[in-house]
Amino acid sequence: MTQPESRLSRPIEPMPPTVEQALVDSGLLNAYRARPPYQRNDYLGWINRAKRLETKQRRLDQMLSELERGDVYMKMDWRPGRVDVDAD
């Protein structure tokens, strides 16, 4: 999956195939894509930096749980910003 260009000044983290598959299998890919670029990048970097498989899985599970709830980011309360709707 290629990521669109971003205004992030940090390197864009690659999405491991296992993470993408977990998002698809859980039906949370759209929730992931709806998050701001910095959050998507932070989640991937956080998961990718784990050395042990158990840690990677625990972090992936946390990300999926937070995406499912929709109001949490890295164990902090989070609310999406105003959504712009194009007026026709």
The chain-wide mean pLDDT, for the chain, equals 86
Separation CA 33–CA 29 (nearest Å): 6
Mean pLDDT value of segment 42-70: 95
Q: How confident is the model at residue 52 (pLDDT cuts 50, 70, 90)?
A: very high
Share of the chain above pLDDT 70, in %: 83
Mean pLDDT value of segment 65-78: 86
Separation CA 26–CA 76 (nearest Å): 22
Instruction: Dump the DSSP string for the chain.
Output: -PPPP---SSPPPP--HHHHHHHHHHT-HHHHHHS-HHHHHHHHHHHHT--SHHHHHHHHHHHHHHHHHSSEETTEE----PPP----
Predicted TM-score (pTM) of this structure: 0.77
Question: Which pLDDT tens digit goes with each residue over 6-42?
Answer: 565 778 899 999 999 999 999 999 999 999 999 999 9
Closest CA to 60 of 20, 4, 27, 88: 20
